[in-house]
Each structure stands twice: as structure tokens, then as C-alpha cells.
Structure 1
Amino acid sequence: MLKTLKGKFLIVYLLLVFILAVVGATSIANIYSLGKSIQGLMTDNYKSINAAGYMLDALEGQNSAALTYINTNKNKGISDFNKNSGYFYQWYNVEASNITEKNEKQFVEDINNSYTAYLTLFSKLQETAINSDNSKVIDFYNNEMYPEYSNLKKLLRDLSILNEKAMFSGKEKVINASEKSMNIVIILSVLSIIGGLTAAWLSLIKFLSPLYALRDNMKALKEGELNKQTKIVSQDEIGELSKEFNDMTKRLMQFEQSTLGKVLAEKNKSLAIVKSISDPIIVMDADYKIVLINDAFEQLFKLEEKNVLNKYFLEVVRNGELYDYIKNIYNSEEDKIEQKIFYFNYNSKDYYYNVLVTRLRETDNKRYGLVVLFQNVTGLKEIEKLKSDFIATVSHEFKTPLTSIMMGASLIGDEAAGGLSNKQQEIVETINEESEKLLNLVNNLLHLSKLESSKSIFNTEVCTIEAIVENSLKSFVSEAKERNISLQYNPIGSSIKVEVDFDKTVWVLNNLISNALKFTEDGDQILIRSFVKQNRVCVSVKDTGKGIPEEYVEKIFDKFVQVRGTEDRGTGLGLSIAKEIVEAQGGEIWCESKLHEGSIFTFTLPLEEEF
């Protein structure tokens, strides 16, 4: 045990604890004895003195009541006398139960006898007042009642003096006991201090000497003297530490000679790579303080790296939306790399950057910083805008001749230009059907182009979700009835309101119900539900149709995606447009489906904000 540093310190600590225990036990014993003496001094005798004083006050009150009875008001005198009598007996009982001194019991009995006689004399005083004139009453008071009153006062004062003397006597005992206890505690404390300091000093000299030597060698190591070695003087933990220190200096010397140049070169190489990247990059620590920025970041935000290092992100880039996005991604528990496109204006030009946030982790998965890459997608945005403009222009120009073709085919079908054979009639009907599909495609392309070009085309208004659902259902009631399909709606209640574009939201629901009718067999059921979840209104359309294969569930909302093997295939734009409308209004849309069991399409909308 003595071979380890822990054992050596433990012995010293046990010695000190033993000394403290002896001093503490002695102190506690003396304090307890002293406390008991003080308690007797401060409670028993003081209680008797206090009771004697209150009885004297009550007696004087009764004497005043007797004089009031004789000279002024008999009723008031009797009332005050009886009141003070009760007060007197209250404190008499306290004194009678607190007899602690020699002869105190005799005093209590004498007081009781004298007070009983005093009460009897007051009764006789009242009888004299009834049967005689006032002069005889006064004589009776002076000759009979007052002497008894004076005797009773003397007894009460003597009782008080008896307890005061006992109290002073007890005080001397307490003082002597306290001085004795204090001397004992002082002597033991001085001995404990001397012994403890001696043991501590000797132990420190023995234990710290090798540590001081080790400290001096570490300072030398810090200054670059890698060949320092520490003398091993014991086999305890300090000896082991010294041995490990010697091994460390050897390894550092070897490392210095072999890899220092490579490490510095790699560091400079990494910095050069980051600085040369054309897209803006910023590196921050866990407190969002800037560690590194490259030249592209300096140009984008008009900064200099030397002026922003170790500053908080918001001090340098005053963009609350960007900061909130970066902070939310950093604090998220999800491992996937998030990205979002932000708009910036630089030198009077519009730029779009796809912001990617990557968390930096140590080997124990603890986060210690983050890297934010601003991927320039301005060119892609411009191409996307050109594509949308082109589609809108072509669709618009295509719509006019298509309308003319449809009108011509309709006139031919109505035999306005002459009779048709059955074969010709079938050809005209085919032309009409295909033209309708083509027109629907053109309209969807125009609608999608408007949605992608601007959010300003939304005419928002406050309305109830029930109004939206009921407006949509009107268009499908007759078709559902013809096919014997149960079209049910479970409402949430008329008080739930949303602030959306009413017509476009109805269009989304129309598209979902239309698809459900398209793939639901006759005689089956379609269920529309609305409910509130996580401060959002949810609307779902559930059918019992064929269902969607698993590989299409995630991409069913992409443009022009159509499920293979479906007989009645549309343009592949309806769900994509629905997604654009829902997300533009701050909501989400998704699909849950199992093949041959049916599908559930659900979209959410934010509740109306109340102020």
C-alpha cells in the first residue's frame, strides 16, 4: 500500500481525520454540556420571573378595579377585577408548574392563600357597599383589603428575587464551564494544527520533489529541448509518470526528426485548396465563430479575413434567415447533408447559391464545428427560367391552333359540313379525345410555368377547410353516384381556418379526388378527412384502388412521372402542380400506398395566424 502515491496520501489524510475527529468530539461534548446549562438558565428561572411579573401586573390591575368600584363605576370595577383575576390565575398556574428552586414551593402556596383571602375581601367590600355608605366602604378598603394587597405584592417580589438570585448563580456556573470548554478546545486545536502542519509539510516535501523536477523538465520540453529525461526516484504513480514522460520525449524526438515537415506541408496544402475553391466557403466552430473563409466568400460579402476571424457569424453576415438555417442544420440529429437555395445581390446582379452545411465531428462523434459551402447555381437558375419561359411561350402559341383544330373537329362531328359514315365518325371522335388530352397538357404546362416563375400569383384569403372540401366535392358527386362509389367526408369542424389561395387549393383537392375516382373500382369507397396535427391542417384522400408500386411512391410528384402498366395514364403533371401549389403556401404533400390495397394522398396547410 505504501508503494503507491494513493496509499501514502491516504495515510496522511487518515491521520488528519483522526486528529479532527478528536477535536470535534471534544468540542461537541463541551458544547452540549454548555447548552444544557444555558437552557436551564434561560428557561426555568426566567419563566418564573416572567410569571411573577405578570401576576404583579394583574394584581395591580385588580387594585385599580377596586378603586374604580368604590369611587366611580361599580359595574366597570367588577368587570375589570374579574378580568384581571383570570389573568392572575393563568400566570399562577405557569409558576406552580415550574418550581425549580428551594423554598419556591412555599412561596407559591403563600401567594395562593393570600390571593384567595384578597378575593374574599373584595366580595366583602361589595357587601359593605350595598349595606353601608361610601365612607365605611373606604374604611374597609384601607383597613382590610389594602394590607392584604401589599402583602401579596411583597410575596410576588420575593418570588421574583429568589429566581433572579438562582439565575445569577447559574450564570457563574455557565461562565466557568464555558471557559473550561474553551481552554480544552484551544489546546487540542493548537496541538492538531501543529501536528497537521508538520505531517503535511513533511509529506509535501517528499511527494512534490519529483513533481517539481518533472515540471522543470516539461518547461524545458516546451522550449524545444526534446532530449530531456527525468530521474525516477520511486516506484509509485509519480515514478510511472516520470517513466512515461521519458518515453514521450523519445517519441517526440523521433517524430520531430521524421514527420514535422510533412505535417506542416499538408496543413499549408489544405489551406491552399480551400482558398482556391471558386465557390464561397466558411468554417466555424461550435459557437458559430469564424475560423476560416476563402477568397470567394470575401468577395461575396465584401469582407477581409483578418477583420472577421473569431467573430460571431451574425456580426459579420447580417442575414437572420441564413443564420437560422445553418443553426437548425447544425443542431439537427439527422446525418444527411441538407441544402437550400438563397438569393444574394452582388454588384447589382442577382446570384443564387445552394447552401450546403456539413458538421465536423471528432472520433467520438462529438461535434466541434461546421463547414458551409455556397454552391453557385445562378447559371442553373437562369437556364431553368429560360426553360420555363420557352415552355410557356410554346404552350401559349400551341394553344391557338389546337383550339381551331378542336372547333373544326367538333363541327365535322356535328355533321355541319355534311353526313359522315360510322368510320369517319369514329375518326372524328378520336381527334376530339386526343385534342382534349393535348389541351389538358398545354393548360397544365402553362399552369406549372406560372407557378415556377412567381409566387405573387397567389390570391390568399382566410377560409375554412370545410368550404374548400365541399366546393371540390360538388364536381364529383354525380360521377361517384353513377359508378356507385361511396364518396365520404369526415369534417374537422367549421372553426378551423386557413389563409390560402382558395381556387388553387380546390384545384389540388380536385386533382387528388379525380385520380382516386380514376383508379377506384365501381362500388368501392373514397374517404376524405381533415384534421389538425402539429399546428397544421391536414387533408387526406384515401381510395381502395390498385395502389402504387413502392418504387414510384417517392417520385410520383416529379414532372411527367407516370406509373407503368396503368391503362388510363394522364399527362404526369397534375401531382407535380399540386406539390408546387401546396409548398408555395407553406405546406407539404406526400403519398402512402400499398399495391392492390389503395393509396392515401395527404397535404398540409398552416393554420391561420391569430393576433
Structure 2
Amino acid sequence: MKIKTKLTSGVGLLLGLIILLAGVSIWYINNLKKDTNNILTANYNTLEYSRNMLLALDEFHIDPSAISTFELNLTKQKENLTEIGESDITLKISNIFSDLKQDIKNDSLQVMIRKDITTLMKLNMDAIALKSQIANNTAENAIGWIIITGVLCFIIAFALLIKLPGDIANPILQLTESIQQIANHNYNQRIDLEKHNEYGDLAKSFNMMAEKLDEYSNSKLEKILKEKKRVETLIDNMRDPVIGLDENKIIIFVNNEALKITGLTRNEILNKPIQDIAVTNDLIRTLIVDLINPSAKKDNTPLKIFSDDKECFFEKEIINIEINKTGENATELAGYVILLKNITVFKELDSAKTNFIATISHELKTPISSIKMSTQLLENNQTGILNEEQKQLIEGIKDDSTRLLEITGELLKMSQVETGNIQLNIHATDPRLIVNYAVETTKIQAEQKKLSLKVNVEADIPQILADAEKTAWVLINFLTNAIRYSIEESEVIISLEREPQGVLFSVRDFGKGIESRYKRKIFERYFQIPGSLKSGSGLGLAISKEFIETQGGTIGVDSSPGLGSTFFFILPYNKFL
């Protein structure tokens, strides 16, 4: 039988029995109501009228109104004739009462009428007893049929309660467990439901699906193993060291390059917690610092590792592997990959580039200085009189040689920064002297562009610990850029203020400003804002950043397009004061 048919039949039968129970109850209750109404409206009223008449007889001699009372109850009784023989007795009482009214003191008539009234009362009391017995029989029958119908409803409902939920839920539970087995790749799972209903059809479909999945899994297993072997071979042949971990930080794969730099064998490292390996291996311990303590500050310094009989440099990257299970939206951590990118070649090229720039810059300074000296000699009238065109050519040579000297100087400073050979002369310094020196150095440039240099210095500015020469160089670089990009006849504001971290040096101009997308890049080497003047090398701000940060300070810029820019840096106070 189909589940739908079974449910419809069971619930329909139960509903029919409930309706039957309600019908039987209503029918018997109506019968009981009729029986009780017969007693109340017929016999009980007659007894009431008879009693009133007897009481009125007793009052005939003392109360003249008693006759009216008797006559009233007699009239009501004449209208309530319900039993056999009741009308004859009532007529007889009426006749005697007519005679009695003519002769109230006639005792024989009173005795006769009392006897008839008593007969009338006995007739109705017998009728009440008979009707009460009928009502009791009706009530007993009602109780019996209601009990029978109720028990039948209970039995059927109990049977449905015991059987129906199991018939519906058990196959669903069995199907759920089987689906979980399939989800866990147990494709041999089958459902045994030999029923000719929806569950039977569902079981057949499920078994067919499981069989096809089993067949598909077996047919694809060789291909999956082949793909796994291919991936392992690709990882083993990578030139960069790679270590793979599962979500519990157990090493599940490692390539040959990783084995080479760690000095471990595959058997010593595979399928073991990486924390256990880190106890005895310094390199592994360094690699998992960020993995064990994610909240710690990350060190992006390249790792220096001896490999291939030389010093090599590697950049470390830890990749979290997250997956989405089929049919689910939430991601789940599946493991980690530690990747070491070999940047030795780039380090060697960068070092060669730095040495080349340093060498060329150093070698160029001498001939450029000679060119400047030669132009100065040519300007001397003792060497000859120059015409206007020759003077313009010499001025151009002087400007170009000055620019070349500045560029070579910046390149030399940049090479010092890259090689880590910055020589700092840190000592207690008055920041006001640095500001005054920078202003005096750039005053002529500002006057040529008709700019006003305005200096704001807070009172009681304390000394700082800094390299005065390099700090002044940074401030001069800020002022030079501000003058270059300011509008003529505007002003440049140099400020010196106290901050919790140290003394704040700032230079504000009212030029065209810097777009937000370029703010992070302006301190990078060789970067110049598109559309700006290409008069510099693009190294000044990068060198400034290195000089300030090497002294323990911070550097930055605030700018909005059309409102100008404010370049600033903060150097720490002299804590020994």
C-alpha cells in the first residue's frame, strides 16, 4: 500500500470514528433531554398543582381567597393532562369542587375531593417512576455505546500511533544513515526496503545511484592516483622549497629542495607534527614562528640559508588552504603550505646594480666637478670675453652639471642605503638649528620664485637624538620639493612642534597636492607622480625615508588634490636630558 493511501485511510478512519462517537453522544443526550423534559413539564407540574389545591382546601374555612387559589390550580391542571386516566380524575375533581363551592362546610365533599386529588398525585408519581426508569435505561445505553465507540477510537488511534510513525520515520532514518555513508565515500552501502510504496521506489533509486557511484569511483581511482602522482612529481621538481601541512600541522608532503635546505630525509619529516621537527631543526623552527603565533609581528626580512655551497636568500610565505565542502557555503581550513621563494639571483643582481651605481656615481663626480670648474674659469674675464650666446651656453652647462652632481650624490646615498652602509652620527641636537640651516639653504630658491618661507616653532622645543647632517638633508629635500611645486607668490610653512613620540618637523605647501592613490608610492625608489616635473631622480623621498627610519623616526605625508601637501617626520626626544 502506498504511504499516501495508508495515511489517508488511517486518518480518515479515525476521523470517521470521531464523527460516529460525536453522533452517538448527541443522539443519546437529546433522548435524555426529552425524557427529563417530559417528567418536568408534565408530571412534576401536576404534583405541584395538586399540592397547591390540598393546601387551599385547608384554608377554605379561614381564608375566602383560598377558593380562588384552588380554582386557579385546577384550571392549570386541566391544561396539563398527560397521563391515561388523568382527565377523568381531573373532571371528577372539577365537579366535586363545583358542589363544594355551594356548600363549603360540607365535610364529606372535602373528603371526596381530597381522595381524588391524592389519586391524581399517585398517578403522576407512578408515571415519574416509569419515566425515570426509561431515562436511566437511555443513559445506560448511551454510556455503553459511547464507551464502545471510544474504545474503538482509542484502539485504532493507538495502533496508528505505534505503527504509522515507525512506518514513516524508520525508512527515513535508514535512508539518512545510508546517505551519510555515501557522503563518506562508502559506495557499497545499499538500502533493503522490499515495500510496494514510495519508500520502495526511493530505495530502488538510491541503490541504483550508489551502484553507479561505486562504479564511477572504481573507474576513476586509477586516474586519481595518476593525478596525485603527477602533482607530487611537479612539487618535487619545483626549484623552490615547499612543505605541506594538514589542518593539525602534520607534514603531509615535502619536496626535494625543502629536504636539501633542512638537511632531513623524507622519512624523518613526513607524517610528523612540524612542532616536533622544529625542536631539533633551527630552520624549521624559524619557518613556523608565524604559524604558531599568528598575532606576532611578521618579519619580512629574507631568510639567509646556506645551500648549493653558497649563501642563498629566500622569501617565506605561509598559505592557508581553505576549502568549501560540496553543498556548503562555509569555508573550512584544510591545511597550510610553507613556500620559500628563492630570490638569490635577484639579490645578486640587486647587489651588482648597487655596486655598479655606486661605482659609476663615484667616478662621475670627478669629471662633473671638472666641468663645473671649467665653466667657472670660462666665466672669468681673464680667460677671454664671452658673447651673450656663449654665456647662455655656459649657464646651461652649469645647470646641467649641478643637476648631475645632485643625481650622483643621491645615487651614492641610495647605494649606502641598499648596502646598509649608512654612517650615522647620532648625538643630542637642537632641532631649531636644523630648521634654520635648511631655511637658509633654500632661501635663494624661494626668493627666485617669489615665495615666502614662514617658520612656526613652538616654545620650549627639547633636544632630539639625531644625525643633524642627514636630518637637515631630509628637511632641505622637503623644502626643495615644496618650492618646486608651489605657485608663485604663495608661501611655504615650516613647523616645529612637540608630539608624544618626539619632535615633529613639517613642511606645508599650497600647490596642486597629491592624489590618494600615489601617497603610498611617493616614498618608493625612482617613483615620480605622473604629470609632475621630471627634474629629479625619484630617489630623494626614498633616501629621506631610509635616513629618518634608520634614526628611529617616522615619516609621512598628508595631502589633498588642490589644497597642497604637508610632508613631515618625527624624531625621538633626547631621553638622557
TM-score range, shorter chain: 0.5 to 0.7
Instruction: Tell me what 1:515 maps to.
Output: 481
Check 1:500–1:304 CA distance in 2 against 1; reply closer, same or farther (3 A cut): farther
Asked if residue 281 in structure 1 is aligned to residue 247 in structure 2, the reply is: no
Instruction: Tell me what 1:442 maps to.
Output: 408
Q: Output the amino acid matched with 2:313.
A: Y
Q: Output the amino acid matched with 2:282.
A: R
Q: Output the amino acid matched with 1:292.
A: F
Check 1:228–1:429 CA distance in 2 against 1; reply closer, same or farther (3 A cut): closer
Asked if residue 306 in structure 1 is aligned to residue 267 in structure 2, the reply is: yes
Check 1:488–1:218 CA distance in 2 against 1; reply closer, same or farther (3 A cut): same
- The 8 Å contact of residues 539 and 602 in structure 1, kept in 2 or not, is answered as yes
Q: How many residues align?
A: 401
Q: Superposition RMSD on alpha carbons, in Å?
A: 4.9
Secondary structure of 2:383 counterpart: coil
**What per-residue deviation string (whole Å, max 9, x for no partner) do you get for residues 469-508 of structure 1?**
56644544676578452534465974695x6544323322
Asked if residue 574 in structure 1 is aligned to residue 540 in structure 2, the reply is: yes
Q: Output the amino acid matched with 2:274.
A: Y
- The 8 Å contact of residues 480 and 487 in structure 1, kept in 2 or not, is answered as no
- The 8 Å contact of residues 352 and 376 in structure 1, kept in 2 or not, is answered as yes
- The 8 Å contact of residues 355 and 415 in structure 2, kept in 1 or not, is answered as yes
Q: CA deviation at 1:303?
A: 1.6
Mapped partners of 2:427, 2:200: distance in 1: 80
Mapped partners of 2:190, 2:485: distance in 1: 84
Q: CA deviation at 1:369?
A: 2.8
Mapped partners of 2:191, 2:439: distance in 1: 89
Check 1:348–1:466 CA distance in 2 against 1; reply closer, same or farther (3 A cut): farther
Mapped partners of 1:536, 1:266: distance in 2: 60
In structure 2, stretches of 5+ residues that fail to align are 1-5, 8-161, 325-329
**What per-residue deviation string (whole Å, max 9, x for no partner) do you get for residues 168-195 of structure 1?**
xxxxxxxxxxxxxxxxxxxxxxxxxxxx
Instruction: Tell me what 1:412 maps to.
Output: 378
Mapped partners of 1:427, 1:447: distance in 2: 30
- The 8 Å contact of residues 451 and 483 in structure 2, kept in 1 or not, is answered as no
Secondary structure of 2:382 counterpart: coil
Asked if residue 487 in structure 1 is aligned to residue 451 in structure 2, the reply is: no
- The 8 Å contact of residues 582 and 588 in structure 1, kept in 2 or not, is answered as yes
Q: CA deviation at 1:297?
A: 0.8
Mapped partners of 1:367, 1:470: distance in 2: 59
**What per-residue deviation string (whole Å, max 9, x for no partner) do you get for residues 368-402 of structure 1?**
43222212111121121112212222222221122
5 Å-filtered alignment, 1:78-477, equals: 226-232=187-193, 249-250=210-211, 252-286=213-247, 288-309=249-270, 310-313=272-275, 314-315=278-279, 317-318=281-282, 322-325=287-290, 341-346=302-307, 349-363=310-324, 364-455=330-421, 457-461=423-427, 472-473=438-439, 475-476=441-442
Mapped partners of 1:516, 1:594: distance in 2: 14
Instruction: Tell me what 1:150 maps to.
Output: none
Q: CA deviation at 1:227?
A: 4.1
Secondary structure of 2:381 counterpart: coil
Higher mean alpha-carbon deviation, 559-568 vs 368-377, is at 559-568
State the TM-score, normalizing by the size of structure 1. 0.54
- What percentage of residue pairs aligned between the two structures are identical? 28
- The 8 Å contact of residues 301 and 317 in structure 1, kept in 2 or not, is answered as yes
**What per-residue deviation string (whole Å, max 9, x for no partner) do you get for residues 13-66 of structure 1?**
xxxxxxxxxxxxxxxxxxxxxxxxxxxxxxxxxxxxxxxxxxxxxxxxxxxxxx
Q: CA deviation at 1:544?
A: 0.8
State the TM-score, normalizing by the size of structure 2. 0.56
Select the residue among 491, 497, 502 that pairs with 1:524: 491
Q: Output the amino acid matched with 1:412.
A: L
Higher mean alpha-carbon deviation, 261-270 vs 294-303, is at 261-270
Q: Output the amino acid matched with 1:359.
A: N
Secondary structure of 2:282 counterpart: coil
Secondary structure of 1:431 counterpart: helix
Mapped partners of 2:204, 2:176: distance in 1: 14
Mapped partners of 2:203, 2:427: distance in 1: 78
- The 8 Å contact of residues 492 and 531 in structure 1, kept in 2 or not, is answered as no
Higher mean alpha-carbon deviation, 250-259 vs 291-300, is at 250-259
- The 8 Å contact of residues 339 and 357 in structure 1, kept in 2 or not, is answered as no
Mapped partners of 1:275, 1:224: distance in 2: 29
Check 1:402–1:477 CA distance in 2 against 1; reply closer, same or farther (3 A cut): closer
Check 1:464–1:292 CA distance in 2 against 1; reply closer, same or farther (3 A cut): farther
- The 8 Å contact of residues 589 and 604 in structure 1, kept in 2 or not, is answered as yes
- The 8 Å contact of residues 461 and 503 in structure 2, kept in 1 or not, is answered as no
Secondary structure of 1:260 counterpart: helix
- The 8 Å contact of residues 466 and 491 in structure 1, kept in 2 or not, is answered as no
Check 1:216–1:427 CA distance in 2 against 1; reply closer, same or farther (3 A cut): closer
Q: CA deviation at 1:416?
A: 3.0
Q: CA deviation at 1:221?
A: 9.6
Instruction: Tell me what 2:508 maps to.
Output: 542
- The 8 Å contact of residues 284 and 369 in structure 1, kept in 2 or not, is answered as yes
- The 8 Å contact of residues 338 and 356 in structure 1, kept in 2 or not, is answered as no
5 Å-filtered alignment, 1:60-71, equals: none
Check 1:396–1:496 CA distance in 2 against 1; reply closer, same or farther (3 A cut): closer
Instruction: Tell me what 2:57 maps to.
Output: none
**What per-residue deviation string (whole Å, max 9, x for no partner) do you get for residues 288-344 of structure 1?**
44332211011112122322233235436525665445667x6699xxx99653222
Q: CA deviation at 1:279?
A: 1.0
Mapped partners of 2:434, 2:200: distance in 1: 82
Q: CA deviation at 1:585?
A: 5.0
Secondary structure of 1:279 counterpart: coil
Tell me which structure has the larger Cα radius of gyration. 2
Mapped partners of 2:181, 2:381: distance in 1: 109
Check 1:558–1:331 CA distance in 2 against 1; reply closer, same or farther (3 A cut): same
Q: Output the amino acid matched with 1:556.
A: I
Instruction: Tell me what 2:472 maps to.
Output: 506
Mapped partners of 2:177, 2:444: distance in 1: 96
Check 1:372–1:465 CA distance in 2 against 1; reply closer, same or farther (3 A cut): farther
Q: Output the amino acid matched with 1:281.
A: V
Check 1:253–1:377 CA distance in 2 against 1; reply closer, same or farther (3 A cut): same
- The 8 Å contact of residues 536 and 606 in structure 1, kept in 2 or not, is answered as yes
Instruction: Tell me what 1:183 maps to.
Output: none
Q: Output the amino acid matched with 1:283.
A: G
Instruction: Tell me what 1:556 maps to.
Output: 522
Secondary structure of 1:571 counterpart: coil
Q: CA deviation at 1:438?
A: 1.4
Secondary structure of 1:284 counterpart: strand
- The 8 Å contact of residues 461 and 498 in structure 2, kept in 1 or not, is answered as no
